[in-house]
Chain A
Amino acid sequence: MHQHSRTGVNDFAVKLANVNGTGSASANGLLMQAIFRMGIPVSGKNLFPSNIQGLPTWYEIRVNKNRYTARALEYDLMVAMNAQTYARDIREVRSGGYVLYDSSWPLERSLWRDDVNFLPIPLAEMCNSRFHDARERTLMKNISYAGALVAFLGIDMQIVEGLLAEKFAGKKTLRESNRDALRIGYEYAVKHFACPLPFHLERMDANRDKILIDGNTAAALGCLYAGATVAAWYPITPSTSVMDAFRRFCEKYRRDPDTGRNNYLILQAEDELAAVGMVIGACWNGARAFTATSGPGISLMNELLGLAYYSEIPAVLIDVQRVGPSTGMPTRTQQADLMECAYASHGDTKHILLFPANPAECFEFAVKSFDLAERFQTPVIMLSDLDIGMNDWVVPQLTWDDSYRPDRGRILSEADLQKLPAFYRYSNEDENHVTPRTLPGVHAKGAYVTRGSGHNKLGGYTEAPEEYQQVLDRLARKQKAAANAVPSPKISSGRNAIGVVTIGGCDPAVREALDLLAERGIDADYMRICGFPFHKSIEEFLYAHDICFIVEQNRDAQLRSLLVLETCVPKDRLRSVLVYGGFPLSARSVVDSITRQLPV
């Protein structure tokens, strides 16, 4: 055993290397949830392949008492359960760190590292003698390494057993198998090694009023609470769990208790062209409707986004971004749909975008998306990403204000129409440059033909330049007004010369990076952009700093491009920090890039 181990109470990172499809997710989830219940800030990042079974998959758990929960790049403990990736996994452990491996088979001498402590446990051997079914043996091996970690990290065994009891309530055999597997790993660790390790857990009280939730589930809850009744989608990673969760919530909350009928309809469309078409059709007809998709889906939806923009029909899209271009890497994260979404479709189009940074904002912004879409009668795209959408985050418990009423925007009722001498769809604009719309089935006086072809302010077909421009110019004014209605940027400013600007799920890594930079004597202000079109405070922030670093997860600096296009700030003030390999951002990448670019 090596002695130069770091002691870190509630400050360390564990990486678990597994084979995809072996059931490791439940063991890893169990560990995360147990640490969360111990009141300690924790984050889990699932780095998984686009595969059902057989390829390597990793799960990273970072524990940090100071609430730094971005991805760590340095691992104190590697749980090496995949012989295919032993070499690189063992290489990744920090000097003085630990490697837990299954010693049922010998570890090749060439993989040995002198500066690392090995924790050999014959997991397979022990599980094979306790369990008989092949599948059960594989599954329980995972639970048994979780048991070893309970000992090594000082996880509260009672909490873990409590979790198993909840999970397998009414399934006695399963619960007992899991408990036995847990014990196998735990007892072996206690018997053969000094437990806990120098870095380990101690109970805290940081998670009172917090929940552990993924962004897709939270977004689905937002859609439920916003009153969405129609959802149309085409399955695509990493957005599928939005609709899975929406269906689950609807089954629970949207069945009329008296009639047994459903107050929702989920349409699995033939493709994304149809999915967004269905959403537009439903919103045109007065329902709140949405779709969930990812970049490839947005590419297909471009056509009808232009129709909805021009004919002024609300629609809500949730884009859970993944790595592009093309099929790209479906199970990896990126923020590379910004440009595509901002100006989706041919012709002069511009869309309202919202950028949640975590699951709590996925909930809040999903509700906001419906209000904005209906108030401005236009599509709203909420851009989440795989990191936010599919990983579990610790966020404040979601709250709801029962006085909330949906902002349906300007819709004329039967009584309104009866009073009107005549109705013209694109006339009578308000302070937001929105004109009232009518719904089918209300009154014949409200009838008009919705069209994506040239139209005038009366709603009639036109090919006359002035008439066409009149409508198009109002749409530009409307988008400008929307800048004041989207969530304003989150700014923390100490009047420093350097600003750091970011978006979405980069938030925790960038905030951690700012603290690390401050430790090195580099003070910087922070702005996180939450919506597009840009609120004027964004331009003000950029102007107030000599240099702004724009941190984003794409190759082409798309956020910076949007800032250059949509503000008057000189380009040379805006520097880029770009990390786009597909894994969640870490503070170290941000610090390294910023310090490299600063004059020494």
Chain B
Amino acid sequence: MSIEVSHVSYTYMPGTPLSRQALDDVSAVIPEGSVTAVAGHTGSGKSTFIQHLNGLLKPYTGKVFVDGTDLGDRSKKGKRALVQARRKVGMVFQYPEQQLFEETVAKDIAFGPRSLGLGESEIDERVKRAMDAVGLAYDEFADKPPFRLSGGQMRRVAIAGVLALEPAYLVLDEPTAGLDPRSREELLQQMMRLHRKQHTAIIFVSHHMDDILRLADTMLLFRDGKIAAKGAPREVFMQTELLKECGLRPPRIMELSSELCRAGYLSQMVYTEKELVDVLGRRLRDAR
């Protein structure tokens, strides 16, 4: 089971002077239960790409399959299948807190499950689970109006609204943009906890290379609507020339450790802070 993107191209406003090709023959496979990071400079096609994953945008050429269902099928049966497939792929847009609309937090989160046609008790259960997953205490927040909350809390409500659909794949477009460091870290941890516990596949767009390095098992690097590189972050980030061309810098931990390698303090690259501290600590102890 996987999301399969096969030779997808997409153009905005085709046939006008403002037409812009956002995706150019992009192919990728996102297996279930994986953590995939999507990186690239502004305007490289990241957001367009992820909107294809649940059929919000229809490719001009190429196909997208979610667990084998073709999202581009325009027949009646295909459209029903699209609705089914869309439920498997939860989509969290940039600044999702701007899409809240209900009077209370619980009602807003219940919007998704309710439109799935679930029973009240099941809806309640899901709201509780979703709020728990994003670390919002049900008793404290359920009846509060969402617009009274802080920015970080509103964002968590919005994400819970998507989680309540209990998707198999969760797509997040820059989920931590505009959050303070602590909320950022909490949100990422919640995201990873969801991945571990529910085995939800996470696909996230990020400008933080360090986050990508420590969280993702695969990354897709976009440039000018094409995938310039894909693979394990450690390997992709080693291609420093390519990164520079894409307007990105390697994670700080990798920059530091490659400097240390060059200066002879490290014999091989390290990829985590902990590892670096351990290795350097050992060296220091040995030197004494």
A complexed with B: no
